[in-house]
Amino acid sequence: MNHTLSDIQVMTKRNLVKFVRIPQLIIFSTIQPVMMLLLFTYVFGGAIKTGTDEYINYLLPGILVQTVLFGAMMTGIGLVDDLSRGMIDRFRSLPMARSAVLAGRTITDLIRNLFTVGLMTVVGLLIGFRIDHGIFNFLSAVALITLFGFAFSWVSAAIGLAVKTPETAQVAGFIWVFPLAFGSSIFVPVEGMSSVIGTFAEYNPITYTVDTVRALTLGLPVGNNIWFSLAWIFGIMIIFVPLAINRYRAIS
């Protein structure tokens, strides 16, 4: 058991090396949210009424959550990639901790998400985003965002290990994420949505998380949103961590 931590460390390092060696992986997963950020700020921004001063201050928290959510979907794809290349077989034939492959992968994606959040924040600052309400508030927001991404990494891992082929993992990973992302308060306030979608959006874990992050960065009261957000995050982990581990054990 004392080897578990070192196994996880070895796996994480190995996964991170890949991101450094193949920078396209990070660049492409960053370009998309940057484009969204620019598009919404400059094209739709003027038309969207949010009640805040500058739309960018409203939008960036949403985009950050969306970025880690999409980034989390890479977890399953990465695992299936290892599976189809026979790497998982290699790992399973070694006396390493069985949890290390999954833990190493999700931790890698957490680190990568942290990096993209930093990058997106810099882009945001360049086009007018302001951290006016204390660095502590902002860092708390970042912590919540990465935790949110971490939880969804396990969802993605469970899905990936269930479908087992890279192409299917790609589709199965994103197909439910898009409606989830757009039926939330990422881009526009829930109040303006039609009643069915509005109700969906209201209870959406993304909305609770985005609203919390927004409150923190805009200096508004956080209210109960943070508890609902954390409840969702831990609820998801309680279900999907064992599910993913189970699926990993069942690989043959």
Partner 1 sequence: MSNHPLISYVEEARWRGMSNKQILDSLISAGWQVHDLTNVFLDHIEIFHEPITTESKENIVTVRNISKIYNKTIKALDNISLDVKRGSVTALLGPNGAGKTTLVRILATLLTPEHGSARVAGFDIIRDAQKLRSVIGLAGQYAAVDESLTGRENLEMVGRLYHLSALSARQRAEELLQQFDLDDAGDRILKTYSGGMRRRLDLAASLVVRPQILFLDEPTTGLDPRGRFALWHVIRELVKDGTTVLLTTQYMEEADQLANKIFVIDRGSIIAQGTADELKKQVGGDVLELHVADRSFINEAVGVITQFGNEVPHINEDTNIITMAVTGGTSVLVDVVRKFDVANIKINDIVLRRPSLDDVFLTLTGHTAE
Residue numbers of the site for partner 1 (CB under 8 A)? 3, 6-7, 10, 14, 17-18, 21-22, 85-87, 89-96, 100, 252
φ, ψ of residue 131 to 5 degrees: the values are -95, 85
- Closer CB to partner 1, 88 or 120, in the complex: 88
Q: What distance, in Å, lies between the first and last C-alpha atoms of the chain?
A: 24
- Closer CB to partner 1, 92 or 133, in the complex: 92
- Closer CB to partner 1, 104 or 183, in the complex: 104
Q: Which amino acid appears at position 133 of this protein?
A: H
Alpha helices (runs of H) in the chain, residue ranges in sequence order: 4-21, 24-39, 55-84, 87-92, 100-126, 135-163, 166-174, 177-182, 195-203, 205-218, 225-249
Residues 6+ apart with CB under 8 A from 123: 34, 37
- Closer CB to partner 1, 19 or 129, in the complex: 19
Task: Write down the least CB distance from residue 88 to partner 1, Å.
Answer: 8
Task: Write down the least CB distance from residue 174 to partner 1, Å.
Answer: 24
Task: Write down the least CB distance from residue 216 to partner 1, Å.
Answer: 37
CA 70 to CA 75: how far, in whole Å?
A: 10
Task: Write down the least CB distance from residue 13 to partner 1, Å.
Answer: 8
- Closer CB to partner 1, 135 or 250, in the complex: 250
Report the SS3 class of residue 235: helix
Task: Write down the least CB distance from residue 1 to partner 1, Å.
Answer: 11
